[in-house]
């Protein structure tokens, strides 16, 4: 009789919670862009996994003015690059034609100078022959004058003719020397005797066109660099516009759809709350106890949780002791406490089995009791479980 009374009293006075329920943290999915929200139809409480699609947001009126401006700048830059390239190609053709003409001129000019040398040498040979004849005439006149056959006037005339022939030979030799100098210069690409320029018009024009071509190529290279920069900016702007044009919403946790904060077809703003999800990996047990039991509990204390309707005891550890009136600790949890719960002392229990065992996962809202001390009939309960 006494033993039975002891068991009854001990069963009732052992450290136990007044109420306990399975809870978990909430996570909120917000709109990354503004637009029209299209949610995938799922009932409240439906299970989702990480990465599952929750819906989409589309904004057909996204601002793409900057992208249009950049595309217009690219078109203008591309047109200018094409113009510079074609102009440079045209100059290259002209340079090639003028270069061919310059080569022809140089070849023909060298042949002309060679002919002038041949002519000058022939004139020098003729002058040399006349000089020899004049000298022979002068010698004959000297002999005849000494013999009294010819007069002094004839002698002077022969001397004059000899001097003129000698000067003609010198002139002819200088003409040959000048012609050889012109030929040697022409063979080096320098043309003398054509005015104050040392090159023909075609070569001068080639030099001018080459300078213009180099300038155009430099400008084309600069435009190509600008075009590459514009392409990079356009790609970056396209990425930005695409991100603002549409967005896909995905679950960031494996858990339950707890609440829809916006409905399909609704126009939402960037940062607006759309859905609340329960994170089943954060499942805990929240409970309240009397002040006597609360003062006997410390962080890390062991306890056992039993769901109502079940005889199985699930081991756990105390992870938080929040005391009385601890309403703020429930702001980010799925289940809010009752007023009676807040009048007692709040305790949080970590029960690993609620996360690890598939049949116990995410039983949010299930109630039960937590026991902090061994009771006389626990051995019997363990035999039944």
pLDDT at 79: 93
Count of C-beta atoms within a 10 Å radius of residue 188? 7
Helix, strand, coil share (%) of the chain residues, nearest 5: 55, 20, 25
Nearest to 314 by CA among 326, 327, 303, 324: 303
Q: Which two tokens stand for residue 230?
A: 């514009």
pTM for the whole structure: 0.55
Nearest to 25 by CA among 252, 202, 309, 292: 252
pLDDT at 15: 57
Q: Which residue has the tokens 């199985």?
A: 312
- Asked if residues 209 and 95 have their Cβ atoms less than 8 Å apart, the reply is yes
Rounded-to-integer distance, Cα 35 and Cα 58, Å: 5
For the chain, 385 residues long, give each residue's pLDDT as a single digit of tens: 544 444 444 444 445 777 899 999 999 999 988 889 999 999 999 999 999 999 999 887 777 788 888 889 999 999 999 999 999 888 888 888 877 777 777 777 777 777 777 777 777 777 777 777 777 776 776 666 656 555 556 656 666 776 777 777 777 777 777 778 777 776 776 666 655 455 566 677 878 888 888 998 999 999 999 999 999 999 988 888 777 788 899 999 999 999 999 999 899 998 999 999 999 999 999 999 988 899 989 999 999 999 998 889 999 999 999 888 778 889 899 998 888 888 889 999 999 999 999 899 989 999 999 998 654 444 444 444 4
Q: CA end-to-end span of the chain, whole Å?
A: 28
3-state secondary structure of 349: strand
Q: Which residues contact 94 (CB under 8 A, 6 or more apart)?
A: 209
pLDDT at 272: 94
Q: Which helix (H) or strand (E) holds 174?
A: helix 152-187
Q: Which residues contact 115 (CB under 8 A, 6 or more apart)?
A: none
pLDDT at 323: 83
Cα dihedral across residues 85, 87, 89, 91: positive or negative = negative
């Amino acid at each position: 009789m006494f033993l039975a009374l002891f068991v009854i009293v001990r069963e009732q006075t052992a450290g136990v919670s007044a109420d306990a329920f399975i809870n978990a943290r909430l996570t909120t999915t917000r709109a990354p862009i503004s637009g029209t929200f299209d949610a995938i139809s799922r009932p409240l409480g439906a299970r989702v996994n990480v990465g599952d699609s929750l819906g989409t947001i589309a904004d057909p009126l996204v601002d793409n003015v900057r992208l249009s401006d950049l595309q217009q700048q690219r078109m203008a830059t591309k047109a200018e690059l094409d113009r510079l390239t074609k102009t440079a190609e045209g100059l290259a053709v002209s340079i090639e034609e003028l270069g061919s003409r310059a080569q022809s001129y140089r070849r023909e000019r060298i042949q002309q100078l060679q002919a002038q040398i041949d002519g000058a040498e022939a004139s020098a040979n003729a002058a040399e022959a006349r000089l020899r004849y004049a000298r022979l005439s002068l010698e004959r006149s000297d002999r005849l004058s000494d013999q009294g056959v010819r007069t002094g006037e004839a002698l002077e005339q022969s001397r004059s003719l000899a001097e003129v022939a000698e000067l003609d030979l010198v002139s002819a030799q200088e003409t040959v020397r000048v012609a050889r100098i012109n030929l040697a210069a022409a063979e080096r690409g320098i043309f003398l005797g054509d005015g104050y320029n040392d090159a023909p018009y075609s070569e001068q024009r080639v030099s001018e066109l080459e300078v213009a071509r180099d300038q155009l190529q430099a400008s084309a290279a600069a435009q190509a660099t600008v075009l590459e920069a514009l392409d990079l900016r356009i790609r970056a702007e396209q990425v930005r516009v695409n991100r603002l044009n549409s967005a896909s919403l995905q679950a960031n946790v494996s858990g339950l759809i707890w609440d829809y904060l916006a409905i399909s077809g609704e126009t939402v703003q960037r940062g607006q709350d759309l859905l609340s999800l329960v994170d089943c990996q954060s499942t805990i047990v929240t409970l309240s106890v009397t002040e006597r039991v609360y003062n006997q509990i410390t962080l890390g204390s062991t306890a056992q949780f039993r769901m109502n309707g079940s005889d199985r005891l699930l081991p756990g550890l105390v992870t938080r002791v929040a005391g009385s009136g601890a309403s703020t600790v429930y702001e980010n949890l799925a289940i809010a406490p009752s007023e009676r719960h807040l009048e007692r002392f709040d305790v949080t229990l970590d029960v690993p089995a609620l996360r690890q065992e598939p049949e116990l996962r995410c039983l949010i809202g299930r109630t039960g009791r937590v026991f902090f001390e061994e009771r006389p009939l626990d051995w019997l309960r363990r035999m039944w479980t």
